[in-house]
Amino acid sequence: MLRSLLSYGCPEDVAPFITEDKLHLVLSRWLQSWLGGVHIRRALSAHIKVNVLQVVIFVVPPVLGAGLSVVELDLQVKSVIFGFSVLALVVVLQSAVFLLRRNYQAPRRATRKSIDDTDTHVNRKLFSSLLLDMLFPPKTLLDEAFSLSLTFGAAALCMRLLSVQDLGAYGAAYADCALIENFLGWTVYATSQYPLSARCPVDVNSWQVGDSSALDDAQRAVYVCCLAGADWILSMTDATTVVRIAVRYTLFATPVLINFGILPPTTALAEYVLEQGLGVAFGYAPKEDTALLLLYATTYVAAAAVVLGVAVNTESAPCSMAAAAILGRWITGGHIRGLKAHLTLTLARSSSNKVMPFPPEPERTMVSEADLKGSFREAPKRWRRLLLSPRSLVVMHYGSVVVVSVGFTVGFAALSNSTRHTCKLGLLGLVLGLWLLTQLRIALLLPSSIVSRLCPLHLHLPIGLLEAVGTGIYWILGPSLYLILSCFFADDAASSSRVPTVWVSAAMLHAWTTTQHNPFVACYSIWLAGVFAYSTDYSFATSVFLGALVHPRLWHLWDTAQYMWVVYSSIIFKPKQRFTGWVAITFLGLPVSVVSLALSTVLLAPLYPLCGSTLFFVGFPRPRRFWQAFTPYHDGMDGTYYEHMFEALALDLPGLLAPSSVLCQRSPCVGRDVFFLRVDNFLGLLEVLELSATTAVVRFKGLELQETTSCHHLEASKLDDAIASAFANSDADDAEDDVSPLGPCVFRPLLRTPVRMYGVSSALLADYLDDPECLRLIHDAFFITLVTELNRVTHGSVPDIWLSFPVSISGLDFVLKEFPTIYWDYLQAKNKKIRQIMNPRGLLDDPPLVEEVAVPTPPVREPRRSSLRLAADALARLVHILRPTRVSVANVPSTRATITAPVKRTSVTDRTGSTKQRLEISYGLQEADTSDAVNYAALAQQRPTISGGARRSFLWGDIDGHVEAEPPPPVRPGAAVRPSFLRDRWNKVSEFHMLAASCFAIVQTLGFGSHEKPGPMHVYQCFHGIFPRSLENDWLKANATLYEIVVRAYRLAVKLGLDKFAEGDVDLYDSPEELEATIQYYKTKWYIGPPNTTMHVHRPRVEASWGHYVSTNRPNLFALTKNANGKIMSTIYTLGRQDATVVAVNRAACEGTWHGLALELLYMANDDDERFSIQSNPQLLRNLLVQAADPPMGYPVYSTGPVVIKF
């Protein structure tokens, strides 16, 4: 029996929290939760030793207290003796546990563990007590004195209540309770010496377990003093003994109730009372911000005072109605939120000590595509602009409200009583008919409803007709509610029974505010108030408050009852319990669940199953939290997708939540709508915090994208099955016949709406990258994309800093043969056209000078040479010496660059002697032969070749097209001219050729042996910027800009090669123009790179990341990734219209799951990786709802704060 209770009735298919090996450890945790203090994270193999010690500390304090009760000493002396005795007991217990653990583990580890290294600790201290803090004050003197006075005051009150004389006042009938009360009372006092919860509060900054908060001392003292004072007042009056016993036992159980989160903090209790008061008195109270709640309360009280002043001074019902209508219109206009945001920013700017971790979200005004297109049309006429201006519309709204309120009230006041009664009945019938028509329209539009399944008229009726019906209902319902208010308040003013003016003024403001805030939500409470006032003798003002009190509680009862039924059906009717008698225990605990349901309905509190069982308890609406709620949160790349998803969704939210929409008209209460949004493999939670006729306040959370965990995958797949089953009639082609019904569940698919966001498609590349033809295409495409990217940056002119490439000339000979000559000629022609474009200011015009003007020679800077390049130079000199047919190279005379007139142009370029000397030695040329023609055939014979290999020697004839046929471009006068790399016959192989060939060799040839070829892993690593290891690669990484160009070129080559191979093309291009257009299309319409935050770690600055292109709506994104099995995949994100499915979720299920999560993590210290709260339940969606909880209890990857969307 005990084992079954501690196992919480877990199903067999769920990893249990309690096993046979953990039973004693759980007993230890439960005792610690009861008593506090000693915190043992892991028990020894002999668990009973630790548990016996904890049982000792659990039993000794009550026995010691009972012994002290019979001693004739002062109560304060007793409390001090008892407190130090408990402290000594804790010290003995901690020392004994430390010795047991050390003696048990020392023979195995052969080392002695220090006390800080053990697993037995209590949050930086061996024990925690205010008496010990008095001896070693860790806080300031003022805080210590305050906490100490509260502790001794609570101790004195407890001692007085536990005295034998006071206990004797209960009478002879309860004489046997003395021993029990002594036991419980001393246990309570022992508990008050320790932290209140087993799991200490959560630190917001680090989201780790931290120290206990200072609020615990004051909170404990407030509860104890209030209950002790209540007991003292009851002892002075003629109260019944049962009431006194209830108060006293509540006092005894106060620390336990606080430990398990049943009694809330006093601040949360005050917020709850304020919320309920505003909800009943004024119809609505925001719950996401305490400051906003206080501002709303202040505004409501001031507005009620204004209406009361008008009613007292004028004594006229129409004037009071007009004042209430105007103020109600102003309150519902969103001005209070704007005032709060303005005050927040003002305080933040004026106070230097105030830290704002998250700035307030600005109001988000969405503009539809139709409005954007219409803004480019012709401007309207002046009278239309004046009439439709925002100020004119505001004046018209306020004027229409005043006219309607005053006119209707005066008209109904002029009628007789019998006529007014007839009008009341007719107006109530009209509102009821509109509500029934609204429900019929909703049933026809929702494919998952019973009406839509039995009679699928929505497939034949035009959507525009149903939308027009919804708009018509909205425009008729508002005036109908105005007529009801005017008729009933006019009847109250004419009745003989006088109602207090304050009561009537507050009722008027409440009715007009709720009616203008959201007519579809207000029709429930107004209609209930009208029916109650019509059928009884109560006034309409009283009925308005009764309707506001009953209406939300009826819907809360409906939601919680449905939630209880789903829990029962998922546990009882599918028996998977490890304990066979759990069904019997469920029925035995049914009265407790029913009582909890009643209390939950009255208090509007969440109802949660105790640790996933069928035993329900009522929780506080504001569970004890130690973190900031309703704050934005962003986690990694997945959060970037959800941020883009919310931005795209926000464009459609005005249409989804507009007053004429289905989601608005089906909402029974304000701030109780929760929706799941399913788009492809994206899953988000949308909370509607406030929904009015003009604005909506929402909060969005994105859940993790990966579905590798079984719980997440099971619930997500069941959700997809339910969506497919709900839309089976509308999507007959995509309907699945084998979808099994889930039975009762807490979610319901509603509708689909197109959203412009990314669609994800993935494919394995094993068949592609294993094919040699595909690798050849990528190999050839890389040289082309590399030339393209280098030419885009340099325009054919290589910077000096890139001329120190360490690849030897002989090594580049095998690479230059693959140079894309035709494409390079095409790019060179475009470069010349670009250089020949004249400057509009005439700075590049030819100077009118005939004689030569000497220009000073720029200083020659020797390029940096690596060790490998120096070795290549030495090897080249050695080869030169061993060749007897070659003559030595003459020194190159220094020249000066000149600028000539148009009549006579000469381009005299030069190169440093060392570079030219190395090139001439390698190619076997002489300075004396510079004016003669080059024998290309002889040069080809001098090139080293690979016999039998796939590569042949480079022929100079391959680059004949690179001869300069046109004169060089004009040069700006006075500008320094950099010496050219080649002269005359050197124009066949330019600096650009050498640089491109060096980069190509570093990626594709260097680092491989003679029999090695690049494979799929080489493609994957180079795509992510990881080139083969070589000394030349270090030089490339040192030049960050060049490294970026090469990586970008390789990624373009991968995409180009894969596309060509998929299309079956053997050649990369038919013409250079086509190839350039393809590359330009990839660069402008695609982002090709890994889905991470930065391009690589070698760059000192952060490049535009994948998330940047997602946020800027790049149409396509491509990446090479790996799946769980290590297979290379291509992942493509395509921006387009995706169908987003809106799934309604039971609000009571969300609150109950989140409250149970806080109970398990905070108060039961269950931080197990396989705890019960994260186990899957397809009918409850427990795992998905736990993910959507506020961090750090939940773990959404993206969360927004409250976002205001204007319609």
Dist CA 1100 CA 1103 (whole Å): 9
pLDDT value of position 91:
55
pLDDT value of position 938:
43
pLDDT of 37 over the 70 cut: no
pLDDT of 414 over the 70 cut: yes
Look up tokens 């014979």; give the residue: 941
| Average pLDDT estimate for 157-172 | 45
pLDDT of 676 over the 90 cut: yes
pLDDT value of position 256:
57
pLDDT of 145 over the 60 cut: no
pLDDT value of position 800:
73
CB count, 10 Å around CB of 299? Answer: 17
User: What's the pLDDT tens digit per position in 296-330?
Assistant: 989 999 999 999 999 888 888 888 889 999 999 88
Strand blocks (E) in 786-890: 853-854
Look up tokens 């539009």; give the residue: 445
Strand blocks (E) in 65-192: none
Contact (CB, 8 A) for 806 and 1035 = yes
For residue 144, give both structure tokens.
């210590």
| Bridge partner residues of 761 (DSSP) | 1132
pLDDT value of position 809:
63
- Residues contacting 1094, CB < 8 A, separation 6+: 1102, 1103, 1105
pLDDT value of position 577:
52
The one-letter code for the residue type at 516 is Q
Dist CA 640 CA 1108 (whole Å): 9
Least confident span in 428-432, 615-619, 624-628, 1026-1030: 624-628
pLDDT of 717 over the 60 cut: yes
The one-letter code for the residue type at 715 is E
pLDDT value of position 755:
86
For residue 1127, give both structure tokens.
């297979």
pLDDT value of position 1197:
87
| Average pLDDT estimate for 915-929 | 39
User: What's the pLDDT tens digit per position in 1055-1070?
Assistant: 998 888 888 877 777 7
Least confident span in 45-54, 293-302, 411-420, 893-902: 893-902
Least confident span in 33-42, 639-648, 969-978, 1114-1123: 33-42
| Phi-psi label, residue 277: left if phi above 0, alpha if psi -120 to 50, beta otherwise | alpha
For residue 881, give both structure tokens.
């010496």
| Average pLDDT estimate for 270-287 | 84
What letter would DSSP give residue 759?
A: E
Cα 1137 to Cα 11, 754, 759, 1084: the distances in Å are 41, 6, 8, 20
| Average pLDDT estimate for 702-727 | 79
Cα 215 to Cα 209, 219, 1182, 1190: the distances in Å are 16, 6, 32, 22
For residue 349, give both structure tokens.
């700017």
What letter would DSSP give residue 847?
A: P
Contact (CB, 8 A) for 948 and 980 = no
pLDDT value of position 44:
34
Least confident span in 3-17, 32-46, 497-511: 3-17
Among 442-451, 867-876, 994-1003, the range of highest mean pLDDT: 994-1003
pLDDT value of position 239:
67
User: Higher confidence at residue 1101 or residue 380?
Assistant: 380
% of the chain exceeding 70 in pLDDT: 55
The secondary structure element, H or E, covering residue 386 is helix 382-387
Dist CA 1168 CA 1165 (whole Å): 9
pLDDT value of position 671:
72
Query: Residue 25: which pLDDT band, with cuts at 50, 70 and 90?
Result: very low
pLDDT of 665 over the 80 cut: yes
Dist CA 632 CA 166 (whole Å): 54
pLDDT value of position 796:
66
pLDDT of 911 over the 60 cut: no
| Average pLDDT estimate for 468-493 | 90
pLDDT value of position 1147:
92
In terms of Cα–Cα distance, which of 947, 888, 922 is closest to 812?
Answer: 922
Q: Write the burial class of residue 42 (CB in 10 Å: 0-12 exposed, 13-18 middle, 19+ buried).
A: exposed
In terms of Cα–Cα distance, which of 593, 1046, 1054 is closest to 789?
Answer: 1046
Does a cis peptide bond (omega within 30 degrees of 0) precede residue 286? Answer: no
User: What's the pLDDT tens digit per position in 589-625?
Assistant: 888 899 999 999 998 888 988 777 788 988 876 654 4
Least confident span in 67-81, 288-302, 980-994: 980-994
- Residues contacting 1207, CB < 8 A, separation 6+: 654, 657, 658, 659, 693, 694, 695, 696
Query: Residue 920: which pLDDT band, with cuts at 50, 70 and 90?
Result: very low
pLDDT value of position 119:
34
| Average pLDDT estimate for 37-62 | 45
Dist CA 514 CA 505 (whole Å): 14
DSSP SS3 for 634: strand
pLDDT value of position 1122:
85
User: Higher confidence at residue 804 or residue 665?
Assistant: 665
Least confident span in 205-219, 783-797, 1173-1187: 205-219
DSSP SS3 for 12: coil
Contact (CB, 8 A) for 668 and 524 = yes
pLDDT value of position 491:
87
pLDDT, the chain, mean: 68
Dist CA 1052 CA 783 (whole Å): 11
Residues found in the chain: 1207
User: What's the pLDDT tens digit per position in 1188-1205?
Assistant: 888 777 888 888 888 888
Query: Residue 810: which pLDDT band, with cuts at 50, 70 and 90?
Result: low
Query: Residue 811: which pLDDT band, with cuts at 50, 70 and 90?
Result: low
How do strand 673-679 and strand 1128-1145 relate by DSSP bridges?
antiparallel
pLDDT value of position 635:
66
Among 36-50, 706-720, 942-956, 1057-1071, the range of highest mean pLDDT: 1057-1071
User: Higher confidence at residue 1044 or residue 807?
Assistant: 1044
Measure CA 470 to chain center: 34
pLDDT of 627 over the 70 cut: no
Least confident span in 249-258, 565-574, 579-588: 249-258
Dist CA 521 CA 544 (whole Å): 14
Cα 425 to Cα 420, 430, 507, 533: the distances in Å are 9, 9, 21, 11
Query: Residue 146: which pLDDT band, with cuts at 50, 70 and 90?
Result: low
- Residues contacting 127, CB < 8 A, separation 6+: 37, 38, 87, 90, 91, 94, 194
% of the chain exceeding 90 in pLDDT: 10
| Phi-psi label, residue 948: left if phi above 0, alpha if psi -120 to 50, beta otherwise | left
pLDDT value of position 510:
93
Dist CA 1201 CA 1184 (whole Å): 20
pLDDT value of position 949:
35
In terms of Cα–Cα distance, which of 944, 1023, 930 is closest to 983?
Answer: 930
pLDDT of 1206 over the 70 cut: yes
Dist CA 910 CA 897 (whole Å): 9
DSSP SS3 for 283: coil
User: What's the pLDDT tens digit per position in 950-983?
Assistant: 333 333 333 333 334 444 444 444 333 333 333 3
Buried b (16+ CB within 10 A) or exposed e, 1082-1101: bbeebbbbbbeeebbeebee
| Average pLDDT estimate for 243-267 | 66
Contact (CB, 8 A) for 10 and 17 = yes
| Average pLDDT estimate for 1164-1184 | 72
pLDDT of 527 over the 90 cut: yes
- Tell if the pTM clears 0.85, that is, is over it: no
Among 106-115, 548-557, 992-1001, 1155-1164, the range of highest mean pLDDT: 548-557
Dist CA 703 CA 1104 (whole Å): 25
Dist CA 161 CA 155 (whole Å): 10
User: Higher confidence at residue 141 or residue 744?
Assistant: 744
pLDDT value of position 361:
45
| Average pLDDT estimate for 1144-1152 | 92
pLDDT value of position 109:
37
pLDDT of 459 over the 80 cut: no
pLDDT value of position 537:
85
Least confident span in 668-677, 747-756, 878-887: 878-887
pLDDT value of position 562:
92
Dist CA 1019 CA 1033 (whole Å): 16
pLDDT value of position 204:
30
